[in-house]
Structures are given as C-alpha cells and as structure tokens.
Amino acid sequence: DTGVSQDPRHKITKRGQNVTFRCDPISEHNRLYWYRQTLGQGPEFLTYFQNEAQLEKSRLLSDRFSAERPKGSFSTLEIQRTEQGDSAMYLCASSPARGQNIQYFGAGTRLSVL
C-alpha cells in the first residue's frame, strides 16, 4: 500500500492554458473522488468514479472541468481555459468497495493561475 499519489504537486500556468492532473489511487480501491480546496476552506467535492464509471459529476464547477478514469485505475482531472479563480489545491481520494467507505487522500496538486 503506497497511498494515493498525485502528480504534479505544484502547477503554475498562465490564464487560458489547459492543465491536467493525475491521481493514482490505492491499488485495491475501486472508488475515486476529486475535491477542490481553496484557501481557508474545507475540501469541496467535485466528482466520483466507481471503477471506470463516473457516477457523479454534477458538482464539477463548469464545463471547463472534466475527469476521466479510462481503465478504472488512475484518473485525470483536466481544466480547460484556466482562470485565476481556478487557483486552488486539487485533492484526490480513494476508498475500497466495501466497508465504511473511509476516504484516503493524496497530497494534492496546488494550481496557481497567473
């Protein structure tokens, strides 16, 4: 068990550019979640995958945000045409299929949009 891994840890981009973040969940976990955390706030739920199926995406912030998990393992979160308001920490979490659904978090990707 190597924990949830996120890459990159930090991303600086210019407004209008596209960015993509990667999350590798704990290997035996089939559930994967993306959150956004802005300064002074708790994590805010964005989307949820069970295996490769994206079962909840209504909380994605706009149509500029999209997420994939093509083979039910790693996931990517893409933000198109970034805006300064997208600057935040993006957190990924995973949980096992059974049990109490405790979510285990990665270290996050901190995005700065200039």
Partner 1 sequence: AQSVTQLGSHVSVSEGALVLLRCNYSSSVPPYLFWYVQYPNQGLQLLLKYTSAATLVKGINGFEAEFKKSETSFHLTKPSAHMSDAAEYFCAVSVPAGGYQKVTFGIGTKLQVIP
**Is residue 102 within the footprint of partner 1 (CB under 8 A)?**
yes
105 binds partner 1 (CB under 8 A): yes
- Of all helices (H) and strands (E), which one includes residue 76? strand 75-79
14: amino acid identity, one letter:
K
Binding residue (CB under 8 A) for partner 1 from 21, 34, 48, 65: 48
Which of 7, 52, 74, 104 is in the footprint of partner 1 by CB under 8 A?
104
Please count the other Cβ atoms lying within 10 Å of the Cβ belonging to residue 60.
19
Q: If we measure between CA atoms, which residue out of 24, 80, 73 comes closest to residue 52?
A: 73
How far lies 61's CA from each of 35, 66, 82, in Å?
A: 11, 9, 12
Residue 58, Cα to own-chain centre: how many angstroms?
14
Any contact of residue 31 with partner 1 (CB under 8 A)? yes
Question: Using CB under 8 A, which residues numbered 60 to 79 contact partner 1?
Answer: none
Task: Using the rule CB under 8 A, give the single segment among 13-21, 67-75, 76-84, 96-104 that binds partner 1.
Answer: 96-104
The CA-atom distances, in angstroms, between 25 and each of 13, 20, 38 are 25, 16, 22
According to the binding rule CB under 8 A, does residue 4 interact with partner 1? yes
| Cβ at position 18, least distance to partner 1 in Å | 24
Q: Is 1 in the site for partner 1 (CB under 8 A)?
A: no
- Indicate which single residue of 41, 61, 81, 112 sits in contact with partner 1 (rule: CB under 8 A): 41
